[in-house]
Structure 1
Amino acid sequence: MSGAQMASENWARVKRRLRAELGEDVFASWFARLELDAVVDGCAFLTVPTRFLKSWIESHYADRVLTLYRAEATDVERVTIGVRSSGSSPSRDPALARRPSETPRAPAASLAAVPPGDIKAPALALPEEKAEAGEFGGAPLDARLTFESFIIGRSNALAHAAADRVAQNGQAIYNPLYLHAGVGLGKTHLLHAIGHAAKTQGRRVIYLTADRFMYGFVASLKAQTSLAFKERLRAIDLLILDDVQFIQGKQIQQEFGHTLNALIDAGRQIVVASDRPPADLEALDERVRSRLAGGLVVEVGALDEALRASILTTRFEALKTIHPTFEVSPNVVSYVARSITANGRDLEGAVNRLLAHATLTNSSITIETAETAIRDLVRNREPKRVKIEDIQKLVASRYNVSRSDILSERRTAAVVRPRQIAMYLSKVLTLRSLPEIGRRFGGRDHTTVLHAVRKIEKQIGEDNALNDEVELLKRMLQE
């Protein structure tokens, strides 16, 4: 029996079990049109005809589908649901596209989010082929996300400068350029801005999300057009890949690594974005991580209050051209910028809420109405839960020693001081007991930890420079 036949039989058994467990009515409503597209590298690619079905299954039955699938096929570790294009066979058109501004989140049971769109496996269209957005010419670039609309502050100035240099220079520099940041801090905006600027120079550009790359590769394997897929992808001038942390599967990662190597060796520019630095992409092949880390790695920092105020002011001014009576005072802008600290998407939500209050009630925006409007967006400022491992890693990096040095028996001054600082921070930033901290520091006795804590407490009271250093480490760990 071939692998495809076995996968098909396994999927048939999964559907029978779903029908038996959930009943005919539930099965007919939600699962009758759920189809298997392929199983690659332990991931089962499923498709449905509508985004609503996809969202409902992911929200309500994700765990059950994966559990039943693993009971029938032990080689399946993950399940991904996509939306197939209307009128096309799921085996030919795996869903790929996402709105450019969306950032994928991993739903329960590792059901990767793959919103609607379509792909025609061999059609990795380049700009001169005038591909439609729905074809595999990459995800469409958002016309709003340009360098002109990007607000620059201290936290993102370096990332902006590097992105602008890459976009304006016809030669591959900082290759690859790797941007990483949390959600809503502007890394995707910079990717789209790079794409727009490069296209105006006539460069061949393709912007892909990780899930689109994965589906494209899977589709090319099924259509037996993988060679054409690779050739077309490697014929471009600039590859922009977003959310690289979601690339999964050994075979897909290998192809991604080959693509990186081929483009870099050919002098083509690559720009990659993720939610973490390359070294922290533990699920990614080590050789790929090394290749990504070999370029310029830039973090897009958290938005400071001044930058948040600038973003809000710009958005309010833009809205006033559409709604001339919409007025927001500087005091309200300052209040919102001070209250919403998480990311740019929450700021956008605040702008929309204030506009709704002003236009629907025909009233002016005061601090009191702003407080009511954005209440659900204000994060509870609870301290971040800090792990001892994070403390050890940060202190080791800060003092230019290794984490293994801190855990070792070495007694040199260059190691003892960082070790004692790490023990002190573990005591004041975690709820771990002294014996537990000792065990996490190479099996040391709790009296050793107590001695370190007391020593650092005494020194920071006498040494302002050390006190400032320790406070900085605390802030970095609690951000």
Structure 2
Amino acid sequence: MAEGWADACRRLRASVGDAVYNAWFARLELISIVDGRANLSVPTTFLKTWIQSHYLDRLLGVLTAEFPEVTHLAIALRSASRAAAAPRAVADEARTSGSEREDVLRATDVAVQDNRKAPRPADKDAATPADGLGGSPLDRRLSFSTFLVGRSNQLAQVAAQRVAEAKAGEPLLYSPLYIHAAVGLGKTHLLQATAQAVTDSGRRVIYLTAEKFMYGFVASLKAQTAIAFKERLRAIDVLIIDDVQFLQGKSIQTEFCHTLNALIDDGRQVVIAADRPPGELEALEERVRSRLAGGLCVEIESLDEALRQRIVEARVAVAQVIQPGFELSPTVMAYVASVITTNGRDLDGAVNRLMAHATLSARPHTVETAETAIRDLIRTREPKRVKIEDIQKLVASHYNVSRADILSSRRTATVVRPRQIAMYLSKALTPRSLPEIGRRFGGRDHTTVLHAVRKIENLCAAETTLAEELELFKRLLQD
């Protein structure tokens, strides 16, 4: 087991990098493997919470590669007294040594900047008046003028621009403004554009990532300046927080909620971004989710092909400034836009790869050579992970019942059949076990799930309409 764990650790280090590994995984230990469950331990609640929230799937993947019998894992605290002191986790972490905190912060920066273009430290344009308040740096390239608008993001762009153009003292149209979208669709670009426009208007603004907010709060506790930290945040005109799904810790969430209430009640503007709607932020407390949902919630949807085409053209234009001889024909650009469908960052990667290949070969690209250049980028795309909650919502909406009905104990025909279909799809489209699916459907027994799966399989053989409906559900959930 020790040898396998050492190999798993090497895999993990290669996957996440030295800085992230040293900060989050160096003190992680494998205790035992029992009945397919890998039992691990860490010394602090903070580490346990962070790993469970951000790296659980990756950790399970490297463990499964070395121990095929492992199907799930559990992380515990090595000290029982520390586990009993969970409500004091933030204060405990504030007592961590300064050098260790700096390592954690550097690792956090690495993890977050994977999803964000960070300005160079020496770039004076990246500075902002909010720096004195501990704000995150702004990248001057991420402005409204460089944000490309299409059907998928038009509403979010208009809402953000109205926030940016509002005058001091004017009544707020909506606060908070909550923007949610999957990775690489432009949330950070919009938030940074808003922060820069507000700064240029002379209003006081601070732009923070969730990690920066957490670190600032913990640091203020350590330095015994928590009151000053709160006063500085609540004295601004516009608060902008990115990646709020990463907020962890009861004390930190409580302070975040108090800050939201204070700013909104005082007529100040708050702008929030996350990777999912407020109601799906399971890690946040109910009152925080409710407060976020009380403003304007806008989703940036997947990029349509016309917008992807414009993004490719814009990226090629930027690449030509770096490499003047670089050219892509309209046909090749259209091909790239058609096969890279996920997000803007993947389009950036495709253009960068095409530029590198063109530089090395000194020949213009054709569709065939472009396909070769970006083939591995497409092949390494991970399939969409279907969530049980998404299945429940889709089925409930289709059959005109509520998700609460599906989870309830009601046994009327209008509810039982959608519930059985949702259980069948959960078994077919997710890696969850029958007992886990049962727990996610109101605490039902695994035999109930098994009965539902067999019932729907039998009905599919007899009812063509139902089989077609299930295929439609699968396509909608997997697209």
Q: TM-score, normalised by structure 1?
A: 0.70
Q: Aligned partners of 2:186 and 2:370: how far apart in 1?
A: 25
Aligned to 1:184: 184
| CA 396–271 in structure 1, closer or farther in 2 if over 3 Å, else same | same
In the alignment, is the contact (CA less than 8 A) between 1:234 and 1:259 conserved in 2? yes
Q: Aligned partners of 2:120 and 2:314: how far apart in 1?
A: 32
TM superposition shift of 1:311: 0.6
- SS of equivalent residue, structure 2 residue 213: helix
What fraction of aligned residue pairs are identical, expressed as a percent? 59
1:57 equivalenced with 2:22 (yes/no):
yes
Deviation track 1:312-355 (CA, whole Å, cap 9, x = no partner) reads 11111233244332110122112222222232111111111111
Q: Aligned partners of 1:472 and 1:445: how far apart in 2?
A: 21
Aligned to 1:261: 261
Aligned to 2:304: 304
1:340 equivalenced with 2:348 (yes/no):
no
Once the two structures are overlaid, the 10-residue window that deviates more, 260-269 or 291-300, is: 291-300
Q: Counterpart amino acid of 2:151?
A: R
| CA 212–407 in structure 1, closer or farther in 2 if over 3 Å, else same | closer
Decide which of 98, 112, 118 is 1:103's aligned counterpart.
112
1:53-452 alignment, distance < 5 Å:
54-55=19-20, 57-58=22-23, 61=26, 63-64=28-29, 67=42, 70-71=77-78, 74-75=82-83, 103=112, 130=129, 133=131, 135-170=132-167, 171-380=171-380, 384-386=384-386, 388=388, 390-408=390-408, 410-412=410-412, 414-416=414-416, 418-419=418-419, 421-422=421-422, 425-426=425-426, 429=429, 442=444, 444=448, 450-452=454-456
In the alignment, is the contact (CA less than 8 A) between 2:406 and 2:415 conserved in 1? yes
- SS of equivalent residue, structure 1 residue 158: helix
Q: Aligned partners of 2:462 and 2:223: how far apart in 1?
A: 69
Q: Aligned partners of 1:377 and 1:391: how far apart in 2?
A: 29
In the alignment, is the contact (CA less than 8 A) between 2:23 and 2:104 conserved in 1? no
In the alignment, is the contact (CA less than 8 A) between 1:420 and 1:456 conserved in 2? no
Q: Aligned partners of 2:303 and 2:175: how far apart in 1?
A: 26
- SS of equivalent residue, structure 2 residue 144: coil
Q: Aligned partners of 1:363 and 1:189: how far apart in 2?
A: 34
| CA 445–182 in structure 1, closer or farther in 2 if over 3 Å, else same | closer
| CA 346–196 in structure 1, closer or farther in 2 if over 3 Å, else same | same
Aligned residues: 399
In the alignment, is the contact (CA less than 8 A) between 1:176 and 1:292 conserved in 2? yes
Q: Counterpart amino acid of 2:112?
A: T
- SS of equivalent residue, structure 2 residue 240: strand
Deviation track 1:262-296 (CA, whole Å, cap 9, x = no partner) reads 00000111111112221222221221111111111
| CA 68–229 in structure 1, closer or farther in 2 if over 3 Å, else same | closer
Q: Aligned partners of 1:437 and 1:251: how far apart in 2?
A: 32
TM superposition shift of 1:477: 1.6
TM superposition shift of 1:193: 1.2
Once the two structures are overlaid, the 10-residue window that deviates more, 349-358 or 448-457, is: 448-457
Q: Aligned partners of 1:116 and 1:334: how far apart in 2?
A: 32
Q: Aligned partners of 2:276 and 2:451: how far apart in 1?
A: 37
| CA 439–183 in structure 1, closer or farther in 2 if over 3 Å, else same | closer
Q: Which runs of 5+ in 2 are unaligned?
A: 1-5, 7-16, 31-40, 45-76, 122-126
Q: Aligned partners of 1:225 and 1:67: how far apart in 2?
A: 29
Q: Aligned partners of 1:162 and 1:416: how far apart in 2?
A: 41
TM superposition shift of 1:426: 4.7
Q: Aligned partners of 1:139 and 1:432: how far apart in 2?
A: 39
Aligned to 1:45: none
Q: TM-score, normalised by structure 2?
A: 0.70
Q: Aligned partners of 2:223 and 2:393: how far apart in 1?
A: 46
Aligned to 2:49: none
Q: Which runs of 5+ in 1 are unaligned?
A: 1-21, 23-51, 83-87, 107-113, 118-125
In the alignment, is the contact (CA less than 8 A) between 2:191 and 2:240 conserved in 1? yes
TM superposition shift of 1:429: 4.0
| CA 436–354 in structure 1, closer or farther in 2 if over 3 Å, else same | closer
1:436-475 alignment, distance < 5 Å:
442=444, 444=448, 450-453=454-457, 455=459, 461=465, 473-475=473-475
- SS of equivalent residue, structure 1 residue 239: strand
Aligned to 1:123: none
Once superposed, what is the RMSD of the aligned Cα atoms? 4.3
Q: Aligned partners of 1:115 and 1:285: how far apart in 2?
A: 33
Q: Aligned partners of 1:432 and 1:250: how far apart in 2?
A: 29
Considering only CA atoms, is the larger Rg found in Structure 1 or Structure 2? 1
TM superposition shift of 1:410: 3.6
In the alignment, is the contact (CA less than 8 A) between 1:100 and 1:139 conserved in 2? no
Q: Counterpart amino acid of 1:359?
A: T
Deviation track 1:369-424 (CA, whole Å, cap 9, x = no partner) reads 32232233114567545455542233224545333422555454643553354356
- SS of equivalent residue, structure 1 residue 74: helix
| CA 234–436 in structure 1, closer or farther in 2 if over 3 Å, else same | closer
In the alignment, is the contact (CA less than 8 A) between 2:247 and 2:253 conserved in 1? yes
Deviation track 1:287-309 (CA, whole Å, cap 9, x = no partner) reads 11111111112222222333222
Q: Aligned partners of 1:336 and 1:209: how far apart in 2?
A: 32
- SS of equivalent residue, structure 2 residue 328: coil
In the alignment, is the contact (CA less than 8 A) between 2:424 and 2:456 conserved in 1? yes
| CA 186–101 in structure 1, closer or farther in 2 if over 3 Å, else same | farther
In the alignment, is the contact (CA less than 8 A) between 2:423 and 2:452 conserved in 1? no
In the alignment, is the contact (CA less than 8 A) between 2:28 and 2:42 conserved in 1? yes
